[in-house]
Amino acid sequence: MTNETSTTDVPAPSPSAAPRGRAGLLLRIVPPGLYAGRAHVLVERSYLVSTRGWMSVLSGFFEPLFFLFSLGYGLGQLVTTVAGPGGPMPYAEFVAPALLAASAMNGAVFEATFNLFFKFKYAKTYDAVLATPLGPVDIALGEAAWCLIRGGLYSAGFIVVMLGFGLVSSPWALLALPACLLVALAFAAVGMAASTFMRSWQDFDLVQLAVMPLFLFSTTFYPLSVYPGWLQTVVQWTPLYHAIELMRALTTGYVGWGALVNVAYFVVMAVVGVVVAARRLGKLLLT
């Protein structure tokens, strides 16, 4: 009698219960779509890796610092003033904001290209990542966020140097660090998108071919007026030029409506870069 009661009290499992259970387990393991909302996990991984190679991270800070000492102060002894946003200004004050923008660019670009290519092509890091609930969009956002952090660290350190040498003359400079973060994000997104098209290490000569002219010709060391008319037009379309114009406006206090144009330029650049990088990573890793 007891056995009969126990068997009749226990409800029989419905035919659809097992499939629903398996489907729920599948959704927990492999989320639908390409985004799981866990990009911060890749940021944490990059941080842990960087703690073992902190010298390579720290070294990126010194390049713009050496340029500031050698050109800003060395050449500045020969070139006393140069045309700036509000008129003639000391050469060191002219060069320092440009090197600030360049440090944000370099920190983001080289992290987003060389390191991402190695993880993707040789270490197969992203193949392992996609075996977890993370998707290609998580990879793109996580790597862009880490590039943003690295570029922001370089920028913050350089801003401290500028403050120490009296190269900041406006309270608007408080917005220089957020502006650097936006610049770093935009360059990181485009760098990630570009690295998905690279086939070998030799292709990275193209990265240097793009970054070096930007560094030299985007009014980093000379005002725009020294270039021929046609070259001025070309320079005004380049991303580093917009970054330098934004940094000079903030550090000198001559902030106008043009700063909003610079900000919009990098917002569009970041969105396009992240979208292209996510689609390319999804196509390369999921096929």
Tens digits of residue pLDDT in 97-154: 998 898 888 878 877 788 778 887 888 888 888 777 777 778 878 887 887 887 777 7
9 found inside a domain? no
224 found inside a domain? yes
Taken as a whole, the chain contains a residue count of: 287
3-class DSSP assignment, residue 196: coil
If DSSP states are collapsed to H, E and C, what string results for 47-67? HHHHCCCHHHHHHCCHHHHHH
pTM value is 0.76
Q: H helices of the chain, where?
A: 2-9, 17-29, 40-50, 54-59, 62-67, 91-110, 116-121, 125-129, 136-164, 176-195, 205-217, 229-236, 239-252, 258-286
Q: Tell me which residue range forms the domain holding 274.
A: 34-286
15 found inside a domain? no
Query: Token pair 């985004």 is at which residue?
Result: 35
Cα distances (angstroms) measured from residue 40 to each of 113, 178, 198 = 20, 20, 26
Predicted confidence at residue 27, as pLDDT, reads 41
Predicted confidence at residue 34, as pLDDT, reads 61
Angle between helices 176-195 and 91-110 (to 10 degrees): 40
Number of neighbouring beta carbons within 10 Å of residue 175: 17
48 found inside a domain? yes
Number of neighbouring beta carbons within 10 Å of residue 25: 10
11 found inside a domain? no
29 found inside a domain? no
Cα distances (angstroms) measured from residue 83 to each of 6, 89, 127 = 93, 6, 52
Predicted confidence at residue 246, as pLDDT, reads 93
| Phi/psi-derived region of residue 220, left when phi > 0, alpha when psi is between -120 and 50, beta in every other case | alpha
Spatial separation of the C-alpha atoms in residues 53 and 16, rounded to whole Å? 52
Per-residue pLDDT of the chain (287 residues; tens, 9 = 90+): 444 444 444 444 444 444 444 444 334 444 444 666 677 888 888 888 777 766 666 666 676 777 777 777 777 677 778 887 877 888 888 888 998 898 888 878 877 788 778 887 888 888 888 777 777 778 878 887 887 887 777 788 888 888 888 888 788 888 988 999 999 889 988 988 888 888 888 887 888 888 888 988 899 888 888 888 899 999 999 999 999 999 999 988 888 888 999 999 999 999 998 888 878 877 777 66
Q: How far is Cα of residue 62 from the mean position of the Cα atoms in its chain?
A: 19
Number of domains in the chain: 1
Predicted confidence at residue 17, as pLDDT, reads 44
Nearest 5°: phi and psi at 170? -150, 145
227 found inside a domain? yes
* Spatial contact of 117 and 207, defined as CB atoms under 8 Å apart: no
Predicted confidence at residue 182, as pLDDT, reads 92
69 found inside a domain? yes
* Spatial contact of 73 and 215, defined as CB atoms under 8 Å apart: no
C-alpha count within 13 angstroms, C-beta hemisphere, residue 93 = 22
